[in-house]
Amino acid sequence: MKIFAHRGFSHKFPEGSRAAYEGAVNAGADGFECDVRLIRSGEVICFHDRTTRRLTGKTQLISRMTAEEIKEIYDAITLQELLEIAIKEKKDLLIETKHPVISGGKIEKRVIELLNEKSSDIKSAGIEITLMSFSYLAVIRMKRRYPNVAKVIKYTAAALLTREANIAIDIEILRKHPNLITRTKASRIYVWTANSQSDLKWLASKNIYGVITDRVKRARKILVG
């Protein structure tokens, strides 16, 4: 079972920050999880929210900012910078594209362009990169151009009906309906966001491919020993 640092080691460091991802390396994560958005400068930034308000107290739209402007008020990291860390440290990467957004499918296009630009380095590092989204249309767009794509599941019925080979399921859904692990047609299951000792201990005996967690050290101690 692989341990993915949710927005980096976000229990200890500011979520989605360079410090959080560097901290995840030191904490022994097998990989990183990130949320990405397209910004005004044309770059892809690792940032969960639509605005900066929750993390900075200042309300600015991420899509209307440049990377430099964002970094002036938060320790944000671009996807290209995170890719470089993942390649150097040999860490797998889960990339979730956020929707709905005004730019539509441009975010998926740019993410895949970046991955293609780094394809030889990714291959040399021996790491796996998986694209994810809650959006059905985004998943379809990505599957046309990229081999590793997972559908993020919010509802029980969706987990049963999906034909996707890779899915990510909320731990709360899985706790309520543990039979989904065997009933889903997916061959690879990621679980998010598992942080409590009870949830991690419960998952330890389950046929799960990857656990997405804020508590990297705790997860490693329970799941790996």
Domains defined for the chain, CATH in brackets: 2-223 (3.20.20.190)
Mode of pairing for the β-strands spanning 92-97 and 77-78:
unpaired
Residues shown for the chain:
225
Give, for all 225 residues of the chain, the pLDDT tens digit.
999 999 999 999 999 999 999 999 999 999 999 999 999 999 999 999 999 999 999 999 999 999 999 999 999 999 999 999 999 999 999 999 999 999 999 999 999 999 999 999 999 999 999 999 999 999 999 999 999 999 999 888 888 888 899 999 999 999 999 999 999 989 999 999 999 999 999 999 999 999 999 999 999 999 998
Half-sphere exposure of 175 (CA within 13 A, CB side): 12
Return d(Cα 22, Cα 202) in angstroms, integer: 28
Query: For the whole model, what pTM was predicted?
Result: 0.97
pLDDT of residue 155: 84
pLDDT of residue 34: 98
Residue pair 84/61 in contact by the 8 Å Cβ criterion: no
Query: Rounded to 5 degrees, what are φ and ψ at 17?
Result: -90, 165
Residue pair 1/223 in contact by the 8 Å Cβ criterion: yes
pLDDT of residue 156: 87
Return d(Cα 90, Cα 8) in angstroms, integer: 15
Query: Rounded to 5 degrees, what are φ and ψ at 45?
Result: -105, 145
Return d(Cα 127, Cα 148) in angstroms, integer: 12
